[in-house]
Amino acid sequence: MQEANPDSSFEIVAREDFSDVTYLLEVRHPLMAKAARPGQFVIVMSHEHGERIPLTIADFDRARGTITLVIQAVGKTTREMQRNCTVGTHLYGIVGPMGEPSHIGNAKKVVCVGGGLGVAPVFPQARAHKESGAYVIGIVGFRSRDLIFWEDKFRANCDEFIICTDDGSAGIKGLVTEGIRQVLDRHGDIDELVAIGPPIMMKGCAAATRPRRIRTVVSLNPVMVDGTGMCGGCRVKVGDKVMFACVDGPDFDGHQVDFDDLMFRLQRFKPEEKLALERWQQGCRIEGRDAGRDS
């Protein structure tokens, strides 16, 4: 496990922008690439005084010695990284891989569902299930056609692939649950469904599979601070137990997760997050004015 590195050797070797808020960073880290497994995550610091943020490993390439992170610029730190993290720059520190790897068993037919940013971390799961010999059905959901990414990667690793869009501009019009309904109508022998995305989406996926008692695995994203289980910030209710996403997960039984509690906890720090973003944006505006005076 690697942490802060004063020599700044975690070089960003590739970047791709999927939209105005979603971007990909490929980071050189041979040891991490060798150790990473589907379902795991890292905690990243972009600079010495930066916030520690958890990011799911969206891909890893052992031959290139790189890991891939797909990030959505929604708060102060992720927007700061969107501005500053370009090819040739370095991340200050990376901790990981963390969390329990996803269980890739002997399932013969698996459905892998990703919604929005969750499309990225569900990809290594789809690939791993395919490599284990399973028949893999991929279902991904986006708001519209212009937000779609990694279609070719999924098609290369899925026996069937379905795109759902909210506005109907590509694939099926509707939520990923409509794609799940169609798949369940065609296949009566689904062994497992893996879902990664917003909590409300994963809750819907679990509801869709519950009547048929299909094993359903979800990857949770509660507020996380230290990533070791010490702070308790990432606790989630699973059945009659309180568990910690950073050390017990992030994968859990979707039929046992208390999604309402998860969604409530995710809102707890919204005022602080909003204030941090506003202060950072104000600082950016001041920097911009000062630069204008100097030119």
Full pLDDT tens readout for the chain, 295 residues: 444 444 447 999 999 999 888 899 999 999 999 999 998 999 888 888 888 888 889 999 999 999 999 988 888 888 888 999 899 999 998 888 988 888 888 889 999 999 988 899 999 999 999 999 999 999 999 999 989 899 999 999 999 999 999 988 988 999 999 999 999 999 999 999 999 999 999 999 999 999 999 999 999 877 776 666 677 777 888 988 988 878 888 899 999 998 888 887 776 655 655 666 667 567 676 565 655 566 5
- For residue 237, the cross-strand partners are 242
From CA 166, how far away is CA 224, in angstroms rounded? 30
Measured between alpha carbons, how far is 15 from 13 in angstroms, rounded to an integer? 7
Residue 282 — left, alpha, or beta (φ > 0 → left; ψ -120 to 50 → alpha)?
Answer: alpha
Q: Is 91 left (phi over 0), alpha (psi -120 to 50) or beta?
A: beta
Hey, which residues does 114 pair with through a beta bridge?
A: 140, 196
SS3 228: coil
Phi and psi dihedrals of 87, rounded to 5?
A: -60, 130
The domain ranges of the chain are 10-98, 109-219
pLDDT digits (tens, 9 = 90+) for 16-43: 999 888 899 999 999 999 999 998 999 8
In the three-class reduction of DSSP (H, G, I as helix; E, B as strand; rest coil), residue 135 is classed as: strand
- The correct answer on CATH 1.20.120.430 for the domain covering 109-219 is no
In CATH, which of 2.40.30.10, 2.40.160.40, 3.10.20.30, 2.40.160.20 is domain 10-98?
2.40.30.10
Q: Do residues 116 and 197 lie in contact, with contact meaning Cβ atoms separated by under 8 Å?
A: yes
Separation CA 160–CA 253 (nearest Å): 24
Measure Cα distances from 224 to 24, 39, 50, 135, 234 in Å.
Answer: 21, 16, 15, 34, 5
Whole-angstrom Cα distance, residue 196 to residue 124? 12
